């Protein structure tokens, strides 16, 4: 499925998830994030919005879901990393949780 990154409007919660995935990238063969780690630092009354954001990102094909010990784990393909960085940079002026310096990290290709 081809993703048209320029046409997708992301909300705050979707961007939070993408930012967490980019901050410490765990690509499909390296490992996955569980919901608890993606929701870390989010107020409990916002967890439902985070779950909706995960569902939207999953339906768009940006992140992938894997069953792990009776819970879903998530990751995204390494090929999406530069596109997600561009999306986060595009929204960095609107949300203070997006740190451009952190997003410019180096990652090892496998």
- Give the pTM: 0.82
Residue 39, domain extent: 12-103
**Is residue 33 situated within a structural domain?**
yes
CA distances from 28 to 83, 85, 99 (A): 16, 17, 24
The total number of structural domains that make up the chain: 1
Q: What is the tens place of the pLDDT at every residue in 26-73?
A: 555 556 777 888 888 889 899 999 999 999 999 999 888 887 777 888
Domain-located, residue 19: yes
Note whether residue 5 is domain-resident.
Answer: no
CATH assignment at residue 51: 1.10.10.10
Residue range 76-99, pLDDT digits in tens:
777 888 888 889 989 999 999 888
For the record, the structure tokens of 55 come out as 């569902």
User: Residue 64 falls within a domain, yes or no?
Assistant: yes
């Amino acid at each position: 499925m081809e993703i048209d990154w320029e046409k997708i409007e992301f909300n705050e919660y979707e961007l939070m998830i993408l930012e967490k995935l980019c901050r410490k990238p765990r690509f499909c063969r390296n490992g996955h994030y569980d919901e608890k780690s993606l929701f870390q630092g989010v107020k409990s009354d916002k967890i439902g919005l985070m779950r909706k954001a995960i569902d939207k990102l999953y339906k768009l094909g940006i992140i992938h879901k894997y069953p792990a010990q009776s819970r879903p784990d998530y990751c995204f393909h390494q090929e999406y990393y530069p596109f997600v960085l561009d999306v986060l940079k595009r929204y960095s002026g609107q949300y203070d949780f997006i740190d451009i310096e952190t997003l410019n990290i180096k990652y090892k290709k496998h």
